[in-house]
Amino acid sequence: MAPRAVEMVLAQAWTGLRRHSLVTLGAVCNIAVSLTIVGGFFLLAANLEHMASGLAREAVITIELAEGVKHDELERQLYADTRVKDTRYVSKEEALKEYAKAVNLPYKDLAGAINNPLPDVIRVTVTNPEDLAAVANWAGRLEGVAKVRYRRDVAEKLLRVATGVRTMGLLLGGLMAVAALLLVSTTIQMGVHSRRREIRIMQLVGATNSFVRAPFLVEGATEGLLGGLLAMVMVVGGYSYLQARIEASLTFVDLLRGLDFLALVGAGIAVMGVGLGLAGSLIGTRRYLRLV
């Protein structure tokens, strides 16, 4: 496209955005809200999957001992199984110290404030993570074992929650995206209608539908970009704030972090905004241009 034609397309797009400024603002806000919902649910699901993967990688079985049971004999039985790589006995006092450190509280204050509810445990590491469930089931039947926990079951639950969160986010974001598409489409149709005589004259002198459609595509892309940038600021800014607060108070929670990760999320939101704007423009012009 020649420079003069590009200048003309941009000028017409700017005129259209100014002429229907309130509707344009509504479309931008609608796109921003829909992308904020999608981005927020995506970050929540991504962090749940990240925590689930970390738990699964650790592949540790925690065996709670019944009251008064000696751990030595039980550890010998566990070591006799070739699937067991290592065992470590942790007394209830040591477990309370670990908890106090995790929540950043002085152990003496915590021990003096509560009656230690934690049991004596043996932590078992298996040679092959695939044997985790089988070893856990076998260990649960040994005499003196009160309860068996292993982190893969927690990981699987987190993965199921993450799937549900992602699905809900897509559904809610999809509904908002449809509303945004309709609003962008309505804005574009208003622009086509208000310039119908000018468009008809351009068609009569040989202008193609692609050339006529170009300013409206620029309008839609601009609305989508503005909405995407607004959503990017809200999602990235909100996530950074929450991440700092959570990591300051809950040091044991491992969240996804890093400028590269946030930049990728922000860029994805902006691109989705442009895509929504272009899609709305195509919907608004494809049918309506035939009627002018």
CATH number at residue 69: 3.30.70.3040
- In 100-130, which positions are buried (b, 16+ CB within 10 angstroms) versus exposed (e)? beeeeeeeeeeeeeeeeeebbbbebbbeeee
d(CA 35, CA 224) in angstroms, rounded, equals: 10
On whether both 86 and 146 belong to a single domain, the answer is yes
- The pLDDT value recorded for residue 288 is 62
- The pLDDT value recorded for residue 149 is 83
CA 112-114-119 angle, to 5 degrees, is: 115
- The pLDDT value recorded for residue 143 is 86
- The pLDDT value recorded for residue 55 is 61
Domain boundary among 123, 151, 179: 151
On whether both 31 and 82 belong to a single domain, the answer is no
Q: State the total domains in the chain.
A: 2
On whether both 266 and 164 belong to a single domain, the answer is yes
On whether both 101 and 146 belong to a single domain, the answer is yes
- The pLDDT value recorded for residue 97 is 82
On whether both 82 and 20 belong to a single domain, the answer is no
On whether both 181 and 281 belong to a single domain, the answer is yes
- Whole domain around residue 264: which residue ranges? 3-53+156-288
- The pLDDT value recorded for residue 229 is 93
- The pLDDT value recorded for residue 130 is 66
- The pLDDT value recorded for residue 232 is 93
Domain boundary among 131, 151, 171: 151
On whether both 49 and 61 belong to a single domain, the answer is no
- The pLDDT value recorded for residue 199 is 66
pTM: 0.60
The tens place of each residue's pLDDT in the chain, 292 residues long, gives 556 656 666 666 666 667 667 777 877 888 888 888 888 888 887 777 777 666 656 668 888 888 878 888 888 888 888 888 888 888 888 887 877 777 777 767 666 667 777 888 888 888 776 677 788 889 888 888 888 887 666 666 666 776 777 777 777 777 777 777 777 777 667 766 666 676 676 666 666 667 777 777 888 888 889 989 999 999 999 888 888 887 777 666 677 777 888 888 889 889 988 888 888 778 777 766 655 4
- The pLDDT value recorded for residue 261 is 84
On whether both 24 and 78 belong to a single domain, the answer is no
Distance of CA 95 to the CA centre of its chain: 33
On whether both 17 and 30 belong to a single domain, the answer is yes
Tokens of residue 278, six digits: 């272009």
CA 288-290-292 angle, to 5 degrees, is: 75
On whether both 145 and 213 belong to a single domain, the answer is no
On whether both 266 and 167 belong to a single domain, the answer is yes
The C-alpha torsion from 201 through 202 and 205 to 211, rounded to 10°, is: -160
- The pLDDT value recorded for residue 100 is 75
Choose among 228, 279, 217, 275: nearest CA to 1.
Answer: 217
Domain boundary among 151, 185, 216: 151
On whether both 98 and 43 belong to a single domain, the answer is no
